Amino acid sequence: MLTTLKRWSGLDRATLLYAAGLAGSAWLAFTIAASLHVQNAYWAAMPIFVVAQSSRGLLLERAFYRLVGTAIGAGLGFAIVRTGHPMVQLGCLAVVVAIGAGLTHLLRGVHSYGTFMVGMTSAVVVLPSVLSPQHATEIATARVECTFIGVAVVTLVMGLITPGSRRDAFYQRARRLAAEAIAFAAVAVEGKPGAPPDSAEHSVLGEIADVDALAVMVSAGSVEGYRRLRHVNSLVAAAIEIMAAGRD
């Protein structure tokens, strides 16, 4: 039956397992929230599809920042609600959202997700209190509870079936990048007309951009990964410098 399903859908076993895990996580989160009589229990299924990632490290780190960002945002939101005046509430919310949005562009990788969640959760708590004050606390509390339930479920369920980051393959790619940068500089130093070609330079620079973008993602959820991240960043910077030196 599984073979027939794979042939019919055009998906491999890993993809089908991942899809089943997402569906099962969403169903389980909704069931838990409904059994606890949380208002709008379907909200518990929403974080499942946002937190799930392609590697276990990314999943764990994204779940962590989702929880921390939600907790801080909820705290700020409820504090803003206690001011009582709608215009003051909207003004304070605008400041929190602006700071969160700004930090989202300053922080790299998964770290920015936490500040994004602070701003979004604050809005989820404050806006209902402005539009519908009589039910604001219940709605906001239910949304926060559903977020915690959904994140806990997706972390436990998807953490079992999501593969780990391929850090070894990434580090090998970084080493090849260093060798390519040195080879490019060596050819450039020879000073032969038309050597190295622009296409070679573009290729190495493209590889540098890819390695730099992947470095934080590959390191997510690993103490060892973050320890080695600074070495990767140094290697990327050195590759750019040696290519520039070869061109001079």
pLDDT tens-place string over residues 124-144 = 888 887 777 777 788 888 889
Q: Determine the pLDDT at residue 4.
A: 63
Q: And the tokens for 160?
A: 């079992």
The whole-number average pLDDT for the span 46-72 is 91
Residue type, 3: T
> Which of 127, 161, 195 lies at the terminal end of a domain, its last residue?
161
**146 and 227 part of one domain:** no
108 and 206 together in one domain: no
Domain boundary among 93, 127, 161: 161
Pair 154, 190 in one domain: no
Place of tokens 């690993």: 222
Whether residues 189 and 156 share a domain: the answer is: no
pLDDT of residue 34: 95
Same domain, 79 and 147: yes
User: Do residue 110 and residue 206 come from a single domain?
Assistant: no
Identify the DSSP state of 143: H
Same domain membership, residue 229 and residue 135: no
Residues 157, 175, single domain; the answer is no
pLDDT above 70: percentage of residues in the chain: 92
Angle at CA of residue 146, ends 123 and 85, nearest 5°? 30
Same-domain check for residues 22 and 120: yes
Which of 139, 161, 183 is at the close of a domain? 161
- Give the pLDDT confidence of 206-229 residue by residue, as tens digits: 888 898 888 888 888 888 888 888
Closest CA to 114 of 153, 151, 154: 151
Average pLDDT value over all residues in the chain: 86
- The verdict on 243 and 126 lying in the same domain is no
Q: Tell which residue, 248, 239, 246, 235, has the closest CA to residue 187.
A: 246
Mean pLDDT of 192-208: 77
The predicted-structure confidence for 75-108, as pLDDT tens digits, reads as follows 999 999 888 788 898 899 999 999 999 999 888 7
Which H or E run includes 163? none
34 lies in the same domain as 154:
yes
DSSP reduced 3-state for 222: coil
Structural domains of the chain, count: 2
Residue type, 12: D
208 is in which domain, residue-wise?
167-247
What is the share, in percent, of the chain residues with pLDDT greater than 90? 35
